[in-house]
Structure 1
């Protein structure tokens, strides 16, 4: 129960109003430590409830402030506009019975309007690193009174090249008392370097590792001969699977536009989302999907993180993602909050090794599925000849079985006659035998 946490009564009232009853594992582990003011480094998969795990302790720190609102007290950094917008909504929901105000700074919005909002000095500022730095450089942003920093999806921010921006923004908050870093993966050397620079003796929490995907999500692969065959399979799945909303992921913008064009031509209510789309189009695509105006979203990995849509129960990987982590983020869109979901990956000859490496990474084996109506000829790599010990054992057994026959057919090798001439090395003319040299005395 959330009442077990030492949260302010106004926050507990909001929690009850929102019908939050049982905390998720990441909330149960992180909230008590965060309330103590500890620096946290939390690894938790997408959809595990980690937003509330940092929002509630952050608001609890600010709820009883007696000072007038003249400084920004909390800063939340996120990699994408969509994720920042969703986090703002969560902060507003949990702070509805308090006087705490939050503001949003992201790219794609009017710079002057954002500067005007900053002059009102929100208690909590949520934003993406690039635009925040632009406002900082313009003299519109002052962070010297920030008490708490949250770095959400820190691994993704590093992947997008925001490492230096994040570090600079943290350095602009010299009086901060607490820093919390959340990521969906354990990350590499870059993430470890960031942790060493921005966290002070952090508590490490490893929850919901990427190998523990949502139990309600079935993971299947369907083999395909080529991209046109993949498009036929998608058509069949959209016509025959039962789903409320679906996402089709591609690795390239060109392919996303191509699939979207085919779907629209067949009168599907669909939208496409990728990096070439401006903020207005991106907002429209996500809102239409949430409200049910569109049932299908075709997207590149720009939508793999931070997309929270109820009723999203079908994910199709037209292209296999390039890493196990990205695979997790993609299919993490479905099977959330105990609901069932289906994730289908379409595998051509060039995708098989990548798919196998992701299976090994997740320590799982995907369900193989065949759809007879659109069955192709490719079914996976051909079996190769046994090698090593296995080949040696088979050879010995074969030799034992065939020993008698081989011996029976084998012709005796003719021994050379004592005085027969020897062949030369090139086999063209016989060589004369040399007389033996006299023995040494």
Structure 2
């Protein structure tokens, strides 16, 4: 029970109202340490309850240790607008029975409105790094009295190129602050590097590593001849699999837009989400997806992190992701906590090596699957022979053995027998 943590009464009321039953493993390990004001480096997969793991101790601190000083007291950085907005929503729900003000700062929203919100002294700000850095450069923010700095999905933030922005923001924060860094993995070099720079005498809470087997997610591979074949396979899967909500990932926004029309032609409820969309359109699409009016979302990797939507139990990789890290982020949208999920990768010949590399990277072997009605010509790479040139093995050449008692007789020697030798030349060989 959450009462085990000795949280402020206002927070326990909110937890009960939200229907939180019992703490998740990451909450059990991280909340007590965070309430002791320790810096933390936490690895926890998406859907493990990590948002509450950093929000509850932070809110508890702000409630039990009030401050009369002006300025932001808690800052939460997130890699994407979607994740920032979801964290903002959950923070407001947990802070419902308090007087704490929560502000959201992301790109795509009105700049002056955000400046006004900050001037009205929002104690908690949830933001993406890019827009926040703009406000800092305009001297619109004061973090000199900051109590807590939180980096959520730090590995993804660094992958998106926000390393320098994060360090610049941290450099403007109160040096005596508490810092909580949450990541999907602790094996990401950038995470370790930035942790060394911004954390002090920190504790590590490692619930998972990069190579965890995702035991609650069944991972399948379906071979395809080309993109046209992939489209047929995709439509069949979406029409025949059992799921509540499905995510389809492509590597480009162009491909995401191309797939939407044919799938809608199959009477499927499909939406698209990518970085080139206007923020209002993105917000509207997310609302439709959460409400279930759209139950299939075609997305680029923008949505691989930050999408916190319940009921996603099917993830299809139309395009194979460029690396194992992106693959983990994509499939992490399903199989949340105790739920089961299914992921299917559509693999054509030019993607085989990429998919095999992901299997080696994760030290896993994915299940091969055939769609009987749509079997293609491509059956995977041809098997190499165990020996010979195909296997890259040089054939050992054995020297010819002489046959005992048998002497080779040359024709020219036979012709020269009995002839007079010209001085200065070698004698013709003779046989005895």
Do the structures match in fold with TM over 0.5?
A: yes
Q: Does the residue aligned with 1:63 lie in a helix, a strand or coil?
A: helix
Offset from partner CA, 1:374-422 (integer Å, 9 cap, x none) = 111112111101149xx899x99xx9xxxxxxx9xx9997513598289
Equivalent residue number for residue 88 of structure 2: 88
Deviation string 1:222-242 (CA, Å, 9 cap, x unpaired) is: 000111100000011111111
Give the CA deviation at 1:111.
Answer: 0.4
Asked if 2 retains the 8 angstrom alpha-carbon contact of 1:145 and 1:175, the reply is no
Equivalence map 1:26-425=2 (5 Å): 26-68=26-68, 70-387=70-387, 415-416=408-409, 420=413
Question: Aligned pair in 2 of structure 1 residues 411, 120: CA closer, same or farther (>3 Å)?
Answer: farther
Q: Distance in 2 between matches of 1:188 and 1:334?
A: 22
CA contact (8 A) 1:230 1:318 kept: yes
Looking at structure 1, the residues matched to 265 and 79 of structure 2 have their Cα atoms a distance apart, in angstroms, of 34
Residue-by-residue CA offset, 1:273-305 (whole Å, 9 max, x unaligned): 111111011111111110111111111000001
Distance 1:225 1:417, change over 3 A: closer
Cα 1:414–1:251, aligned 2, differ >3 Å: closer, same or farther? Answer: farther
Helix, strand or coil at the partner of 1:190? helix
CA contact (8 A) 1:2 1:22 kept: yes
The superposition leaves residues 6-41 of structure 1 with CA deviations (integer Å, 9 ceiling, x where unpaired) of: 322221222222222221111111111111111111
Worse overlay, 230-239 or 323-332: 323-332
Q: How many residues align?
A: 415
8 A contact 2:186–2:210 mirrored in 1: no
1:434 and 2:426 matched: yes
Cα distance in 2 for partners of 1:74, 1:302 equals 26
Residues 58 and 412 (structure 1), Cα distance of their counterparts in 2 relative to 1, 3 Å cut: farther
Q: Which moved more, 1:66-75 or 1:225-234?
A: 66-75
Whole-angstrom CA distance in 2 between matches of 1:145 and 1:133: 18
Cα distance in 1 for residues equivalent to 2:176 and 2:16: 30
Cα 1:25–1:411 shift into 2, 3 Å? farther
- CA offsets 1:291-336 (integer angstroms, 9 cap, x no match): 1111111110000011011211111000111122211111111121
| CA contact 1:213–1:332 (8 Å) conserved in 2 | no
Alpha carbons of 1:189 and 1:211: their partners in 2 closer, same or farther (altered >3 Å)?
closer
Choose 260-269 or 231-240, whichever is displaced more: 260-269
Q: Using the alignment, how far apart are the partners of 1:294 and 1:380 within structure 2? A: 35
**Separation in 2, partners of 1:143, 1:227:** 50
Which whole-Å deviations, capped at 9, do the CAs of 1:140-190 have from their partners, x for residues lacking one?
111111011001111111111111111111111134421011111235443
Q: Secondary structure at the match of 2:75?
A: strand
Deviates more, 1:66-75 or 1:141-150: 66-75
Equivalent pair of 1:100/1:123 in contact (CA under 8 Å): yes
Report SS of the residue matched to 2:359: helix
Distance 1:140 1:236, change over 3 A: same
Structure 1 pair 236–105 and aligned structure 2 pair: CA distance change class (3 A): same
In 2: Cα distance, 1:227 partner to 1:3 partner: 54
Equivalent residue, structure 2, for 1:426: none
Structure 1: gaps of 5 or more residues: 400-406, 423-431, 437-441
CA contact (8 A) 1:155 1:187 kept: no
Cα pair distance change 1:254/1:420, threshold 3 Å: same
* SS of corresponding position for 1:308: coil
Deviation of the 1:213 alpha carbon: 4.8
Q: CA deviation at 1:192?
A: 2.4
Corresponding residue SS for 1:290: helix
